[in-house]
Amino acid sequence: MNVPMLDLAEQHAALMPQFRRVFDQTIASGQLVLGPQVAAFEEALASNCGTRYAIGLSSGTDALVVAMMAMGIGPGDEVIVPTFTFFATAGCVARVGATPRFVDIDPQTFNMDPAGLERALTPRTRAVIPVHLYGQMADMDAIMTLARNRDLKVVEDAAQAIGARCNGRAAGSVGDVGCLSFYPSKNLSAPGDAGACLTNDPELARSMQQLRVHGQGDDQRYHHVGGNFRIDTITAGILHVKLEHLQRWTDARRARAERYHQLLGGLPIDLPIARAGNDHVYNQYTVRVHGGRRDALSEYLTREGVGNRVYYDQPLHRQPCFEAPDGETVTLAVAEQACLDVLSLPMWPEMSESHQNEVVDAVRRFFES
């Protein structure tokens, strides 16, 4: 049996009648951009994530851009980001004219190393973007302490971590702004691109609401130079339907992760570790394969019809667009090693035991051959 990386067909089939009602009601209303349906989703999302405000946006990438625009981050500023993450985290810093400054990661959680963050601080540092990678929150206590002592803004990249918690606090609710992605592979997935910003700050919320409509305020005047960063109304309605099921799906992911832990135990791979106080939501189930055998295992699983992905095979400080102009070589050894070791296995809430057995059996066959 072939096992995909992700299969939401069963999840979507069960909700199709509600999706159709959203579509029919939205078309009939004529309110196809923003409006009450978007506002209702934003209210529910803010409540779910433990913040006062949620601003629906066109993508998780645009959420990062809007957050930094609202904070006035731009040319001459430095923003500290982990080097081991999706490109958008650093790309959005560059898009607003600021300079991403890369730091290394914790070898167990793959999240930003607070010690590296402290060493990277300079007089030009304006903000830090911790990424809650694979569904687990970064060490926000340490990061927030450093940030507040230096009067830095904190933008949580929670694209992969909706529903995750750290010492009881929800992903996206701890920093000045939290950024979510609803890309189809995320735990709360849209029928296309969508995202959101979360905040408890009314001034930031107002600025981000204006920035998503080119900077226009309620008075019809343009207070900022923004962009077209709006979430689609139908998309917001579908996400609102799915949001009601998010906790159940999160529990199902955790159950499947626990089963992976049990079945893969004893094999020569490192399994995901949740830091003390963290509630992991397993957007990805990512293992480490040592001894230079990651690529061979990936190729074997692919031949066996078992989905797998490498997130990520190159640290951002080694990407051509971020190379130092003077040719200086930066070494961030933990992230560079992770790029050689990590492999994500199939994970979704409705994943059957037979699918999991196929994955585990294939991994076991590889190491026993």
99-118 pLDDT tens trace: 999 999 999 999 999 999 99
Q: What is the pLDDT of residue 233?
A: 97
CA distance 128 to 136: 17
Q: What is the pLDDT of residue 326?
A: 67
Tell me the pLDDT tens digit for each residue of 342-364.
999 999 999 999 999 999 999 99
**Taking a C-beta distance cutoff of 8 angstroms, is the pair 195, 55 a contact?**
no
Number of helices (H) and strands (E), helices first, in the chain? Answer: 12, 13
Q: Is the pLDDT of residue 285 over 90?
A: yes
Q: Is the pLDDT of residue 30 over 70?
A: yes
Q: Is the pLDDT of residue 80 over 90?
A: yes
- Give the residue among 42, 23, 58, 44 at the shortest CA–CA distance from 234: 23
Tell me the pLDDT tens digit for each residue of 42-74.
999 999 999 999 999 999 999 999 999 999 999
117-136: b (≥16 Cβ within 10 Å) or e = bbebbeeebbbbbbbbbbbb
Q: What is the pLDDT of residue 239?
A: 98
Q: What number is the average pLDDT over the span 125-150?
A: 97
Residues 6+ apart with CB under 8 A from 157: 64, 85, 89, 129, 130, 131, 132, 179
Q: What number is the average pLDDT over the span 116-136?
A: 97
pLDDT top residue among 316 and 331: 316
The Cβ of residue 261 has, within 10 Å, a number of other Cβ atoms equal to 13
Q: What is the pLDDT of residue 330?
A: 82
Give the lowest-confidence range in 172-186, 214-228, 340-354: 214-228
Q: Is the pLDDT of residue 147 over 80?
A: yes
Q: What number is the average pLDDT over the span 276-295?
A: 96
Q: Give the global pTM.
A: 0.96
Q: Is the pLDDT of residue 369 over 90?
A: no
Strand ranges across the sheet with 269-270: 269-270, 285-289, 342-345
Q: What is the pLDDT of residue 63?
A: 98
CA distance 207 to 212: 9
Confidence of residue 140 (pLDDT cuts 50, 70, 90): very high
Domains and CATH numbers, the chain: 9-103+110-243 (3.40.640.10), 246-368 (3.90.1150.10)
